[in-house]
């Protein structure tokens, strides 16, 4: 069994964000609306060398889904737009693998440099191989879109690799059955099961022994080494800001900068300097974390007053003012759009 979970503060290529933005603008969204609150500029989308953080792309996904998520099969549309080469060195490492088994394993091990936000796992058991994806780490309202995107992307890239699609023997999807089930059936070759606890793609285990069409041991060794080097460099750049976010999420957003610095065993002055080096601040991280928690609480029906209290605001009015500044809409209106 091999498992990898997403890390939202890891750098990633701009390519996926550019694909999603193009899709959204073709459906009528303004580019400024797509990028609102992401820290991504339009010029970055045209720079193939640009990198963003995973949580910036997730914010873009949030903007797209909350604006045009009513469009049927939007996630499937998105996934079909990803080309094998959009995945960079990750794709080369998988493509040059000797067998499908090795390609799957290396793909999961290198998931931190892919575009997925799911927690992935690869299992071999009895006569089948199972690729599982758990979308619980991402906000509930984004899960179906990201599931659809990953599914369509997987099948599209699969076809590009082999020239034909390796059909799964069974597909379980952790989303409700939509009205456009036929589009899933056309993509997968059979109708999937919906409302599963975890998304799973089942294949005959014999598939794992198939040679990859472009297998090359020398190229695979080089690609894997480069891919792991990139992944380690990106992980090293997560920085103290990522740790501060984790502390705020685990300890609660009512703790202060002094308590966070103490937990990190550094002075408040050192904490400020390190965050400044990462072009952020404790206030920005606190606001980001409060916004994330507020959106999750409002989505599950928590009252505005209770959210304000849990996030440490003096009253609902103060929280409403802050939430409107973050999102451009009031907590009440945000909650109504999620029902």
DSSP for 183-247, written as a single string: HHHHHHSSPPB-S-SSEEEEEEGGGGGSBPTT--HHHHHHHHHHHHHHHHHHHHTSHHHHHHHHH
Question: Which CA distances in Å does 131 have to 71, 83, 169, 199, 315?
Answer: 28, 20, 12, 8, 46
From CA 49, how far away is CA 26, in angstroms rounded?
Answer: 24
Stretches where the chain sits below pLDDT 70 are 1-7, 237, 338-339
Q: What's the pTM?
A: 0.72
Supply the pLDDT for residue 299.
76
Supply the pLDDT for residue 338.
61
* Long-range CB contact pairs, 219-223, < 8 A, 24+: 219/92, 219/96, 220/93, 220/96, 220/97, 220/98, 220/102, 223/89, 223/92, 223/93, 223/95, 223/96
From CA 32, how far away is CA 154, in angstroms rounded?
Answer: 29
In this structure, how many other beta carbons lie within 10 angstroms of the beta carbon of residue 299?
16
Supply the pLDDT for residue 138.
87
> Which residues are 211's β-sheet partners?
99
Structure tokens at 59: 């914010």
Q: Are 240 and 274 in contact (CB under 8 A)?
A: yes
> Which residues are 171's β-sheet partners?
201
In this structure, how many other beta carbons lie within 10 angstroms of the beta carbon of residue 179?
8
Supply the pLDDT for residue 243.
80
Supply the pLDDT for residue 130.
94
Supply the pLDDT for residue 9.
76
Supply the pLDDT for residue 37.
83
φ and ψ at 313, to 5 degrees? Answer: -85, 150
- Whose tokens are 């849990």? That residue is 310
Helix (H, G, I), strand (E, B) or coil at 42: helix
SS3 content of the chain, % helix, strand, coil (to 5): 60, 10, 30
CA 207, distance to chain mean position in Å, is: 28
Secondary structure in 3-state letters for 250-310: HHCCCCCHHHHHHHHCCCHHHHHHHHHHCCCCHHHHHHHHHHHHHHHHHHCCCCHHHHHHH
pLDDT digits (tens, 9 = 90+) for 110-137: 988 999 999 899 999 889 999 999 998 8
- Going along the chain from its start, the domains and CATH numbers come out as 2-234 (3.90.1520), 239-337 (1.10.10.60)
Supply the pLDDT for residue 151.
96
Supply the pLDDT for residue 5.
43
Q: 39, 21, 41, 40: which is closest to 30 by C-alpha? A: 21
Supply the pLDDT for residue 22.
98
């Amino acid at each position: 069994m091999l498992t990898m979970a997403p890390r939202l503060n890891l750098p990633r290529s701009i390519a996926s964000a550019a694909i999603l933005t193009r899709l959204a603008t073709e459906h009528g969204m303004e580019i400024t609306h797509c990028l609102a609150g992401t820290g991504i500029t339009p010029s970055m989308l045209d720079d193939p060398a640009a990198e963003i953080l995973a949580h910036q792309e997730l914010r873009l996904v949030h903007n797209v889904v909350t604006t045009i998520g009513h469009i049927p099969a939007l996630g499937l549309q998105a996934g079909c737009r990803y080309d094998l080469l959009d995945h960079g060195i990750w794709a080369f490492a998988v493509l040059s693998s000797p067998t499908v088994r090795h390609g799957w394993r290396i793909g999961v091990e290198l998931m931190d440099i892919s575009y997925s936000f799911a927690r992935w796992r690869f299992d071999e058991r009895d006569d089948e191989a199972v690729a599982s994806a758990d979308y619980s780490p991402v906000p509930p309202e984004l899960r179906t879109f990201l599931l659809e995107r990953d599914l369509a992307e997987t099948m599209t890239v699969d076809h590009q690799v082999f020239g034909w699609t390796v059909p799964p023997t069974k597909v379980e999807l952790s989303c409700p059955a939509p009205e456009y089930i036929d589009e899933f059936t056309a993509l997968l070759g059979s109708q999937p099961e919906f409302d599963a606890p975890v998304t799973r793609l089942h294949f005959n285990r014999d598939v794992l022994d198939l040679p990859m069409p472009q297998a090359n041991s020398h190229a695979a060794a080089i690609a894997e080494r480069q891919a792991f080097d990139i992944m380690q460099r990106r992980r090293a750049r997560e920085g103290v800001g990522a740790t501060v976010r984790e502390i705020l999420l685990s300890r609660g957003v009512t703790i202060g900068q002094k308590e966070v610095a103490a937990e990190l065993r550094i002075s408040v002055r050192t904490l400020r300097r390190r965050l400044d080096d990462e072009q952020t601040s404790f206030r920005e991280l606190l606001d980001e974390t409060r916004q994330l928690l507020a959106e999750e609480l409002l989505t599950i029906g928590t009252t505005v007053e209770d959210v304000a209290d849990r996030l440490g605001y003096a009253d609902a009015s103060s929280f409403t003012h802050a939430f409107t500044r973050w999102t451009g809409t009031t907590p009440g209106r945000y909650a109504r759009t999620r029902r």
